[in-house]
Amino acid sequence: MFLLLTLLACTPDDAEDSGAPHTGACGEVSEWELSLQVAVERDGQPAAGATVSLVDRGWSPGTVLGTATADAAGEAVLSPLTITSVEGCWGTLLDYVVTATDGTRSGEAPVNPALFNAIDDGSLSADVRDFPIQL
């Protein structure tokens, strides 16, 4: 019951868009344009050609916010990404995951701390290549 109430408290409100900042039941909703650098590995080697996506699991569950193809080094840049944050839900609520697939295998990795830091430090650029997605 507590988890359900928590999720409902951080959903968008039903107010008409008046040009004012959006609010959720918890607080102000902000959108940020970010870039995200990721790496993908398969059997410990770069997964060249893997499809990498950022997926929203909180604000608009299942929405793919960006997709890129990993280069020969197994790296990809997702940009620009529109990230939604909600202030007041125990800090800043983010609920995103990076997924990767090579057509046969797939993997995913959480990226919320990196996205939060990119917003918080004002760089609007997150780099999680040191923690490759494993296929």
pLDDT on residue 58: 82
Q: What DSSP letter does each residue of 53-110 carry, written as one string?
A: EEEESSSSTT-EEEEEE--TTSEEEEEEEEEEEEETSSSEE--EEEEEE-SS-EEEEE
pLDDT on residue 23: 52
> What is the residue-averaged pLDDT of the chain?
82
Res 3 pLDDT > 90:
no
Cα torsion 13, 16, 17, 19 to 10°: value is: -110
CB neighbours of residue 133 within 10 Å: 26
pLDDT in tens, 50-107: 999 999 988 788 999 999 999 999 999 999 999 888 776 555 567 899 999 999 999 9
pLDDT on residue 73: 98
Domains of the chain, each with CATH number or no CATH: 28-134 (2.60.40.10)
CB neighbours of residue 112 within 10 Å: 17
pLDDT on residue 80: 94
pLDDT on residue 10: 44
pLDDT on residue 11: 44
